[in-house]
Every structure is written in C-alpha cells, then in structure tokens.
C-alpha cells in the first residue's frame, strides 16, 4: 500500500506548523500538517514526494533538534474513504479506478491530437496500465503508469521512438526521479529539445534549428518554451534580427511588454529595415498606453511599405486614438468634468413585453434575482439595458464612497474565500460557485481583480460580480486589477464586447466605475490582498496606501502602479519588470513589508500558474489565479483560497478544472489594431 503520510518524531515543543511547512518546503504539495506533543505528521499529495522527504530529511535539524522521519500507518480518518477521488473514478471503469504507481513514464513530443485514452490504449500492449494523462501539465507531454516494472520496461523497449499521430514519441523513465511538482516543466522540455537536435556543423545552423523548434512551440501556444528556445538561438547566433523579433512576439503574448519592447529595439538596431520590429514596438507601446510612440512606429511601417493596407489601417486607427486623447485633454481643461452617469435617465427606458430575463422589482437586487440572472446568462440571454444601467449606477455610487484600502473582518470559524483573475470566463466563475457555494453572508468572497478582458463572456462576468456586491456589500469584495483600465479594455476585448452587447455609452460608464474600485484589502489586520504586488520604493506602509489617490487611470509608477502590476521574483531585492511597468520584488522585500506592517503574508494574483496557485518567499507571498485553461489554450488549473478568521495560516488552496462554454473564442471582441482577433 502506498503512503503519503510521514510521522515526525522528536519534534521540538517550540516548532510551529509554519516551521514544519518550511522544513518540508520544496518536496511537493503538502496536504496537511498536524502538531502533537513532541511529535507530528505531515501528509503529501504524492507518494514520491513523501519518499524523497524521508530519504533526504531524516535526522536533519528542525528548530535546532534532529527529528526522526518514517512513514506512519494509514490515518484513521482514511480507513473508510475510497482510495481514489471522483475525478479519476469517472474516467475508466473497465479496469478499475486509475491510480499512479512508481512505474511511471513521461511521454514527450506527444501529438496534441492524442488524448489520454488514446495513449492508454496504445500502451496496453506492454502490460496493465493503471493511469494515463495527456497535455495536463504541459502541452505535447503525457504520463503513463504501469502495474509492474516489467510492464514499464517492456513499454520502453517496444514503443521508444514510435509514431503516434505523426509525432515520434520519446519515453523517459520517471520512476526514480523526484516529483514533477518540483520540476520546472519549461526547463525540462527545453532540455529535451536541445538533446534531440540534429547534429550540426556550426552554431549558425544549430541556432536556426532552435528557431524552427521555437516557432512550433509558439504555434502550439507554449510561449514559455518558445521564449527559452529563442533565447538559446540568440546565444548561439546573436546577430539575427528575426530571433529577437520572434521572441518579442512571444513576450507580447505573455504580456511582458517591457521585454517585448527591448527585443524589438535590439532587432531594429541590427537591421533598421526589419519591419516586424516596428510592429512589435508599436504593439508593446500601445499596451503600455504610449500611443504617440506607437504612432511613430506605425508611421515607419507605412513609410517602408506604402502599399501595405494592414500597415495603413493600423496607422489610421492609432492616429484616431492619439487625436481623441488630445481632444479629450483639451476639453477637460476648458470645462469641469461631467460624469457620463449624469446623462443616463433610466426611468425613460422601457422594458419590452417580450423580454425574458430577470426583473429588478422595486429596484432591489435579491437572491432570486441573482439566481435568475445567472441562469439567463448561462442560456446566453441578456440582462435588459434598463436593469443593466440600474446596477451600474448603483455600483458606481457604492464604490465612490469606498476606500482605497478596505479592511475586512472575518469572524472566528467563518470561511472566507479569495479568488484571483477570472478574465471573463463566466462559466468557470459559475463553477467556482458550484464547488464552493454561492456568495452569502455566511459564505463571503473577495475577487482580486482582472474580472474582464480576454474571455468573451466578460459582460456576464462583471454583472454577476456587481450584482453580488450590491446584494452583500459587506460580505462580497472586489479589488481592481490592471485589466480594469481603459488601455487594457481597448486592447483585450472588454470595450468591444460592451459595445457589441450594449452600447458605447455603457463602455464609458464602465471605465468610470473601474476608477473607483479599491486597490487592495487587508483581512483581519494580517493578510494584504492586492492584484499585482509590492513596491519599487522602500518603506511603504498601509497608511500610505490608504492615502493613495485611486480615482484615475493607472499611472506608470508609484504605489497604485505597483499594486496593480508588480510580480514576485526568487532573488532578493528588486528588479525592473519584464512587463515594462511595475517591478519585480524578492523575498527580502516581502519579509520587510510584512514585518513593517504587522502582516502574516501577501496574497496576489496577476499570473497564470499551472496548478492555479503558487507559494513564494518562504510562504510569505501566495499567487492565486482562478481562470482555468486560460484563453482556452494554457491547460492550467484554476484555484481559490479559503481561510477562517481563527485559522489564516497556511491558506488552503482548492484546484479546479475548466468547464465547457458556448463556442465563442477568447478575444472575439478585441480590436484588430492589436492583432489579437
């Protein structure tokens, strides 16, 4: 019988759960830590993680004392529990429920047309297959487990290099390696590609091979791998503009605009006539809101290619934006600013007799209204314009009175849920509520920014969130993300979606409302929750955040910018952000900020993670991302955090998979100016 539970003997009395988590950090996902008087238990998610931990750490010091580690007997609570979770029990009943064994192979270079069932059927000729998965952790890669070592070795001999759906697979014995939960999958794939390159006479030819491999991964939307392979090509042959141009495009796909801009400029320094370099620069500058610089780039393209209709179109569209911004600035100097809300008269709007959606009786949002609204959206219905405006005008009034930093009090034993980016993935948002319960006074939520853009159901998503905010104003919280901004909404589809489903006036009203959203929350004086991260400047305090003016479009620097845009890094200190805005901050920065402000840890979002979450900085910083299979391409899980008022550390993560949605592709409403639709 496999065992994931470790007994910890000679455990010092002074050792806390946090000490135990840190002791076992890096050996895989930990399900539970239990501290007793002089001993304890730690339970891992995977058997191999537990085995590695016992092998490496038995006899090592924990809080100054040497501890004894050994596998425990099965926990009493598990005796009556089924061995396998529902996710696997549904998948194959012909040969019993799937389960992982130590006799495990990685299947590399797997065709994207090959499913886990195809892989399992193919491998059965070697022996009994107990588990199979395909493209779950990384595209073009699968996992296969056998009941015996003989079967695994037979598969290695029989199927190594065999063709499945047009690709020759590579089988790697994973039975003796440490858990892939601790491996950098991107590095592993890059290493495999490098090992399998054709023998080349010189670096130039080898670099070109790497570029071709990178192009294929780019087409498969494996942008992290593509970036690493383009980088390897550049190391071998640093004078080829196309390598920088291609990597720049991959950076754009990852929203790393600073790095994209740098590569585009390098490409142009090598060849001033490299037209794609100007395109890359223009796109990055547009994303950073630097429209005049983008216009110069498009003008260069137009000069170099006067008959190129696409270049002319992009130049014209960008020119319109620059002129509109100049006009808006001019009239704002001559007149007092007037809210778009002042021009909306809801009472004159008529609800037609054939309208099938929910009605706002007496203008009040109720539980029944919210349930009917969700059902209407699921059926691809629409909320009537009158009711949509009522919600928006009420939410505007509410957020106008809100603070930049909102304090949340969570009572003892009450569950509190924190969700990350949902990015217009309405059906996955509904799945969160199915898994974790609808919001209520007994089931409060905090959604941590990036509600819209990319996903093509952003309108449905934002009205659902705004509805719950009005229904439970002190039990449902929303903080601003970098995508709650005019520049991002124009680029990534929300503005286009609102104009398509409603009108231009409503798109302007959303921009105004987003300006009033809080920038962050503090839970029980101990947890800072913000979308991006910490600060470029030293010594920032919570009181400084409270005093920050948020009612504006995000600036290029300062507290507001960093809260929306920054990312954690492994190295100490600070570094310029690859995004071109915000910064990267290290473990020492997080430690100092938490100590200075009396916090346990920071929760942030802003980045896709394979499991939907990631731990950073000695468990002082956590990322949570709640949009599974992001943009229908990333194959990541989503996750959310739950805590209780009397048990805030460590936060508990729940992973979940993507659910089906109607056949509307992501970015369907994005502007063609940016080349995303």
- Residue 532: DSSP 8-state: S
pLDDT for 129 beyond 80: yes
626/603 same-domain check: yes
Q: Tell me the C-alpha distance between 446 and 406, whole Å.
A: 11
Task: Give the lowest-confidence range in 5-9, 207-211, 331-335, 638-642.
Answer: 331-335
Residue 584, judged by CB atoms within 10 A of its CB (0-12, 13-18, 19+), counts as buried
Q: What is the pLDDT of residue 99?
A: 58
Q: Tell me the C-alpha distance between 51 and 235, whole Å.
A: 39
Structure tokens at 630: 């992001």
How much is the average pLDDT of 473-501? 97
Structure tokens at 423: 């990015």
Query: Which is more confidently placed, 21 or 268?
Result: 268
With left for phi above 0 and alpha for psi between -120 and 50, is residue 32 left, alpha or beta?
beta
Q: Which of these three, 148, 183, 218, is where a domain ends? A: 183
How much is the average pLDDT of 98-108? 76
Pairing of strands 141-146, 104-108: antiparallel
Biggest alpha carbon–alpha carbon distance for the chain: 82
Query: Which is more confidently placed, 333 or 676?
Result: 333
Is residue 245 situated within a structural domain?
no
Q: Are 561 and 548 in contact (CB under 8 A)?
A: no
DSSP string, 43-87: EESSHHHHHHHHHHHTT-EETTEE-EEEEPPPPGGGTTS-SS-HH
Closest CA to 176 of 126, 107, 128, 104: 104
99/66 same-domain check: no
Find where tokens 């439970």 sit.
Answer: 472
Q: Give the three-class secondary structure for 587.
A: helix
Query: Which is more confidently placed, 150 or 639?
Result: 639
578-600 confidence digits (pLDDT tens): 999 999 999 999 999 999 999 99
Q: Which of these three, 139, 157, 183, is where a domain ends? A: 183
How much is the average pLDDT of 23-50? 84
Confidence of residue 138 (pLDDT cuts 50, 70, 90): low
Task: Give the lowest-confidence range in 13-17, 152-156, 336-340, 628-632.
Answer: 336-340
149/46 same-domain check: no
Structure tokens at 500: 């398509």
Q: What is the pLDDT of residue 333?
A: 57
**What secondary structure, in 3-state letters, does 216-265 show?**
HHHHCCCHHHHHHHHHHHHHHCCCCHHHHHHHHHHHHHCCCHHHHHHHHH
- Residue 176: DSSP 8-state: T
434-454 confidence digits (pLDDT tens): 999 999 999 999 999 999 999
497/622 same-domain check: yes
Find where tokens 């913000």 sit.
Answer: 530
587/445 same-domain check: yes
Describe the crossing of helices 458-471 and 426-436 by its angle, rounded to 10 degrees. 40
Confidence of residue 534 (pLDDT cuts 50, 70, 90): very high
629/664 same-domain check: yes
pLDDT for 79 beyond 90: no
107/74 same-domain check: no
Close Cβ partners of 484 (under 8 Å, ≥ 6 residues apart): 449, 450, 451, 452, 514, 517
Q: What is the pLDDT of residue 134?
A: 83
Q: Are 446 and 417 in contact (CB under 8 A)?
A: yes
Q: Are 614 and 606 in contact (CB under 8 A)?
A: no
98/72 same-domain check: no
First to last CA, the chain: 52
Q: What is the pLDDT of residue 324?
A: 85
Query: Which is more confidently placed, 62 or 410?
Result: 410
pLDDT for 418 beyond 80: yes
Task: Give the lowest-confidence range in 126-140, 168-182, 516-530, 598-612.
Answer: 168-182
In the chain, % of residues over pLDDT 70 = 91
Is residue 503 situated within a structural domain?
yes
CATH code of the domain in which 431 resides: 3.60.21.10
Structure tokens at 144: 């296969």
Structural domain for 174, as ranges: 86-183
Q: Tell me the C-alpha distance between 602 and 604, whole Å.
A: 6
- Backbone φ and ψ for 451, nearest 5 degrees, come out as -75, -25
Query: Which is more confidently placed, 136 or 401?
Result: 401
CA distances from 331 to 83, 98, 271, 323, 326 (A): 68, 66, 42, 12, 9
Q: Tell me the C-alpha distance between 460 and 439, whole Å.
A: 16
10/159 same-domain check: no
In the chain, % of residues over pLDDT 90 = 62
Confidence of residue 2 (pLDDT cuts 50, 70, 90): low
Close Cβ partners of 320 (under 8 Å, ≥ 6 residues apart): none
Q: What is the pLDDT of residue 580?
A: 94
Is residue 591 situated within a structural domain?
yes
Q: Mean pLDDT highest for which of 18-22, 144-148, 222-226, 647-651?
A: 647-651
Q: Are 391 and 470 in contact (CB under 8 A)?
A: yes
Q: What is the pLDDT of residue 433?
A: 98
- Residue 10: DSSP 8-state: S
Radius of gyration of the chain (CA): 27
385-404 confidence digits (pLDDT tens): 999 999 999 999 999 999 99
- Residue 552: DSSP 8-state: S
DSSP string, 412-438: TT-EEEEE-B-TT-HHHHHHHHHHH--
Pairing of strands 527-530, 601-604: parallel
What are the residues facing 418 on neighbouring strands? Answer: 446, 641
Q: What is the pLDDT of residue 94?
A: 33
Confidence of residue 51 (pLDDT cuts 50, 70, 90): confident
Q: What is the pLDDT of residue 117?
A: 79
Closest CA to 406 of 520, 515, 535: 520
Is residue 171 situated within a structural domain?
yes
66/90 same-domain check: no
Q: Tell me the C-alpha distance between 558 and 546, whole Å.
A: 13
- What are all long-range contacts of 77-84, with beta carbons under 8 Å and residues at least 24 apart? none
Q: Tell me the C-alpha distance between 442 and 474, whole Å.
A: 11
Q: What is the pLDDT of residue 210?
A: 94
pLDDT for 459 beyond 80: yes
Q: What is the pLDDT of residue 24?
A: 86
Q: What is the pLDDT of residue 95?
A: 34
Q: Are 579 and 565 in contact (CB under 8 A)?
A: yes
Q: Are 566 and 583 in contact (CB under 8 A)?
A: yes
38/114 same-domain check: no
Confidence of residue 133 (pLDDT cuts 50, 70, 90): confident
Is residue 532 situated within a structural domain?
yes
Close Cβ partners of 575 (under 8 Å, ≥ 6 residues apart): 569, 583, 584
- Backbone φ and ψ for 491, nearest 5 degrees, come out as -80, -45
Closest CA to 481 of 456, 461, 501, 504: 461
CATH code of the domain in which 117 resides: 3.30.70.330
Q: What is the pLDDT of residue 337?
A: 67
670/565 same-domain check: yes
Degrees, nearest 5: CA angle 112-200-196: 30
Q: Are 164 and 111 in contact (CB under 8 A)?
A: yes
Confidence of residue 256 (pLDDT cuts 50, 70, 90): very high
Query: Which is more confidently placed, 245 or 309?
Result: 245
Q: Which of these three, 131, 150, 183, is where a domain ends? A: 183
Active-site annotation, residues: 483
Average pLDDT, the chain: 89
Provide the number of structural domains found in the chain: 3
Is residue 458 situated within a structural domain?
yes
Q: What is the pLDDT of residue 73?
A: 58
How much is the average pLDDT of 204-228? 91
Is residue 27 situated within a structural domain?
yes
pLDDT for 377 beyond 90: yes
Residue 105, judged by CB atoms within 10 A of its CB (0-12, 13-18, 19+), counts as buried
Confidence of residue 470 (pLDDT cuts 50, 70, 90): very high
Is residue 294 situated within a structural domain?
no
- Backbone φ and ψ for 448, nearest 5 degrees, come out as -100, 45
Report cis status (omega within 30 of 0) of the bond before 34: no
Which pTM value belongs to this model? 0.74
How much is the average pLDDT of 101-113? 84
How much is the average pLDDT of 281-306? 91
Please tell me the total number of residues recorded for the chain in this structure: 677
């Amino acid at each position: 019988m496999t065992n994931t539970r470790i007994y910890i003997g000679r455990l010092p009395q002074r050792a806390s759960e946090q000490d135990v988590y840190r002791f076992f950090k890096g050996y895989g996902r930990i399900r539970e830590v239990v501290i007793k008087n002089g001993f304890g238990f730690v339970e891992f998610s995977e058997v191999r993680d537990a085995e590695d931990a016992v092998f490496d750490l038995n006899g090592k010091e924990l809080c100054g004392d040497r501890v004894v580690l050994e596998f425990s007997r099965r926990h009493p609570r598990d005796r009556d529990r089924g061995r396998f979770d529902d996710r696997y029990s549904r998948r194959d009943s012909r040969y019993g429920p799937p389960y992982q064994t130590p006799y495990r192979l990685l299947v590399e270079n797997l065709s994207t047309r090959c499913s886990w069932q195809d892989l399992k059927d193919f491998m059965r000729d070697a022996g009994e297959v107990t588990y199979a998965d395909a493209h779950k952790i990384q595209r073009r890669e699968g996992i296969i487990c056998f009941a015996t070592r003989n079967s695994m070795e037979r598969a290695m001999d029989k199927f190594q290099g065999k063709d499945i759906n047009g690709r020759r697979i590579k089988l790697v014995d994973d039975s003796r390696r440490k858990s892939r939960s601790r491996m950098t999958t991107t590095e592993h794939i890059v290493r495999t590609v490098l090992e399998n390159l054709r023998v080349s006479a010189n670096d130039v030819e080898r670099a070109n091979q790497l570029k071709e491999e990178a192009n294929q991964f780019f087409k498969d939307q494996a942008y992290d791998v593509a970036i690493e392979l383009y980088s390897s090509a550049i190391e071998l042959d640093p004078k080829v503009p196309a390598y920088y141009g291609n990597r720049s495009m991959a950076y754009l796909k990852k929203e790393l605009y600073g790095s994209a801009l740098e590569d585009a400029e390098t490409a142009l320094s090598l060849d001033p006539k490299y037209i794609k370099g100007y395109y890359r620069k223009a796109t990055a500058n547009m994303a950073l809101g630097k429209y005049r610089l983008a216009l110069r780039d498009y003008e260069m393209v137009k000069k170099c290619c006067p008959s190129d209709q696409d270049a002319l179109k992009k130049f014209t569209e960008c020119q319109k934006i620059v002129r509109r911004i100049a006009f808006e600035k001019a009239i704002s100097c001559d007149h007092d600013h007037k809210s778009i809300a002042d021009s909306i008269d809801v009472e004159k709007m008529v609800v037609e007799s054939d309208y099938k959606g929910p009605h706002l009786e007496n203008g009040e949002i109720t539980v029944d209204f919210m349930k009917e609204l969700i059902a209407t959206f699921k059926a691809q219905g629409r909320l009537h314009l009158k009711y949509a405006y009522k919600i928006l005008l009420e939410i505007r009034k509410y957020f106008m009175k809100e603070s930049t930093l909102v304090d949340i009090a969570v009572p003892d034993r009450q569950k509190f849920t924190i969700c990350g980016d949902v990015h217009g993935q309405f059906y996955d948002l509904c799945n969160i509520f199915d898994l974790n319960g609808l919001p209520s006074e007994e089931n409060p939520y905090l959604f941590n920014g990036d509600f819209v853009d990319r996903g093509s159901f952003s309108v449905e998503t934002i009205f659902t969130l705004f509805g719950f905010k009005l229904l439970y104003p002190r039990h449902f919280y929303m903080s601003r993300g970098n995508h709650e901004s005019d520049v991002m909404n124009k680029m990534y589809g929300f503005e286009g979606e609102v104009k398509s489903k409603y009108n231009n006036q409503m798109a302007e009203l959303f921009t105004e409302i987003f300006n009033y959203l809080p920038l962050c929350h503090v839970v029980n004086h101990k947890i800072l929750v913000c979308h991006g991260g910490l600060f470029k400047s030293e010594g920032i305090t919570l009181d400084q955040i409270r005093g920050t003016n948020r009612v504006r479009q995000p600036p290029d620097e300062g507290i507001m910018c960093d809260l929306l845009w920054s990312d954690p890094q492994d190295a100490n200190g600070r570094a310029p952000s690859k995004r071109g805005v915000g910064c990267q901050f290290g473990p020492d920065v997080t430690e100092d900020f938490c100590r200075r402000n009396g916090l346990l840890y920071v929760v942030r979002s802003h980045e896709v993670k394979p499991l939907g979450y990631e731990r950073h900085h000695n468990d002082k910083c956590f990322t949570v991302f709640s949009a599974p299979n992001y943009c229908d391409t990333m194959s990541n899980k989503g996750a959310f955090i739950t805590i209780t008022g009397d048990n805030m550390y460590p936060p508990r993560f729940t992973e979940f998979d993507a659910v089906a949605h109607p056949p509307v592709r992501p970015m369907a409403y994005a502007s063609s100016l940016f080349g995303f639709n």
